[in-house]
Structure 1
Amino acid sequence: MTDTTERSPIVSTGALIEWLVPFAFLVCAGWAVWHTPAYILSFIPPASDSLVEQMSQLHYRKDVTPDMPGLFGGYADILDWLALILLPIIFVIGTRTIRVAPMEFQNWRPIDRTALFVGRITMILIISMTLVMLYEVFLRYAIEAPTLWANELTLWFAGYVFLFSGLYAMQQRCHIRIFLLYDVVPRWAQRCFDVMGAALIVVFAGFLIFGSYKQVFITKFYKWEMFGTAFDPPIPATVQPMILIIVALIAVQAVINVISDWNLEPEVHTAADDIDQEELEILKKSVGSD
């Protein structure tokens, strides 16, 4: 197997486009998710008239642009269609403009671009979540006018951050691993361990998806279950399906990691790996040691 590893130039990291594209993707994704009832009613309406009426009332209550007519005889208006069309376009642009930072895993391949872009989306989500929390703190303690939506929106963002960071951590090989036995065996045995680990992840993902996809996608997503608060975001209808999607992507990424790392030289892990050299230098300076 030849090594077709792609290495990104370090000098091109941190470009403005690497901030704008994930932000644009989140804006379009947020709009599309908030108006998903319009897509369900337009493309795959429920068979029951009562469910159609219930979801249509939900759509009109949550629609950001209720005065805009739906296109093609459906419920989704032109902005809903625009967000839906732009999502895959922006995603492709984002995966093509990825530049790996110096602290990231350098032996990456073109197929890793999806996980890398998901990592950039996660970073923008963390920034957005922090801004929402700061805004709520300012309103609550400075103006004494707290919002009804900041807590649930932060919780919603945090759920996605937790899920997306799992996929990114798998691609970066920064998930928790125990090397006590792994380091003392020959390379062929390490490859066997890698295959066994990926196989266990795939089996777990398969059983999880098989056992819960009906409840998640039919009960939660298709009926668009809401959170039941004043803000009432669709957290159950969005987070639970995303769990299955991310678990499937993590399983795929685990297989990709095994294939990508097959011919790489094994890393040697020592106790020094747990020491942060920068932090150690700061401690030395603080005590006046050279």
Structure 2
Amino acid sequence: MKIIHIIDSTSIWSGKIFRWAALLLSMVVIYEVASRYLFNNPTVWAFDLAMYFYSMLYLLGGAYVLWEGSHIRVDVLFNQFSKRTQAVIDIIFYVVFFFPYVSVMVWWGYKAAFWSWKAEEISNTSQWGEQIYLWKALIPIGFFLMLLQGIAELVRTIGKLRRDTNGA
């Protein structure tokens, strides 16, 4: 299906772009450690910037990880089941747990980001005073990408179940 290909391509694209956040995160942490412990000159911005990059990596890379099939699963048990049973378990998981969770996160993330942007919210716990509304905008975007990829995975799983049922 063309829409599934578009969703997969979007997830792959976001994963390939935002995986660079890991490198940026490492650079910020290394800079802060060197600055703090070698030169006794800590920064006011490194911790918060590291949190930005980690959030970016976590939220905007989630759809790619879902596409890749790398989210945590208890494979010791799951692999003992037949392919048909695995597909049924996956479908139940998506319908009962995944879609309600990511839908709530998109909705509440959107509301939080909207009000944060409207107020031009800045951090009140940081000396740097960074803009929180940019950070909060990552929440609905990241979970929306995961929602799309979840739809693609569910359609793929239903297709596998149909093929296994018809082929058996």
- CA 255–183 in structure 1, closer or farther in 2 if over 3 Å, else same: farther
Deviation at 1:135, TM superposition (A): 1.9
1:148 is paired with a residue whose SS is coil
CA distance, structure 1, for counterparts of residue 29 and residue 57 of structure 2? 15
Deviation at 1:256, TM superposition (A): 0.4
Q: Is the 8 A contact 1:109 1:260 kept in 2?
A: no
1:234 aligned to 131, 155, 160, which one?
Answer: 131
1:203 counterpart = 2:139: no
Match of 2:116 in 1: 220
Task: Determine what percentage of the aligned residue pairs are the same residue.
Answer: 23
- CA 227–171 in structure 1, closer or farther in 2 if over 3 Å, else same: same
Match of 2:68 in 1: 172
Match of 1:132 in 2: 28
Q: Is the 8 A contact 1:198 1:251 kept in 2?
A: no
Letter in 2 for 1:194: D
Per-residue CA shift, 1:174-220, capped at 9, x if unaligned?
11223525742462x44333322222322222334445643x03322
Per-residue CA shift, 1:149-168, capped at 9, x if unaligned?
11211122112122123222
Letter in 2 for 1:128: L
Deviation at 1:146, TM superposition (A): 2.5
1:194 counterpart = 2:90: yes
1:252 aligned to 148, 157, 162, which one?
Answer: 148
Matches within 5 A, 1:58-69: none
CA distance, structure 2, for counterparts of residue 123 and residue 210 of structure 1? 25
Matches within 5 A, 1:256-271: 256-261=152-157, 262-263=159-160
2:58 aligned to 162, 180, 190, which one?
Answer: 162
1:197 is paired with a residue whose SS is helix
CA distance, structure 2, for counterparts of residue 163 and residue 241 of structure 1? 10
1:245 is paired with a residue whose SS is helix
Letter in 2 for 1:207: V
Using the size of structure 1 for normalisation, the TM-score is 0.47
Stretches (4+) displaced over 4 A = none
Residue-pair matches, total: 158
CA distance, structure 2, for counterparts of residue 257 and residue 138 of structure 1? 43
CA distance, structure 2, for counterparts of residue 141 and residue 190 of structure 1? 51
2:19 is paired with a residue whose SS is helix
Q: Is the 8 A contact 1:171 1:257 kept in 2?
A: yes
RMSD: 2.9
- CA 156–211 in structure 1, closer or farther in 2 if over 3 Å, else same: closer
Match of 1:97 in 2: none
Deviation at 1:171, TM superposition (A): 1.0
CA distance, structure 2, for counterparts of residue 186 and residue 222 of structure 1? 49
Per-residue CA shift, 1:96-137, capped at 9, x if unaligned?
xxxxxxxxxxxx945312111221223211111111222222
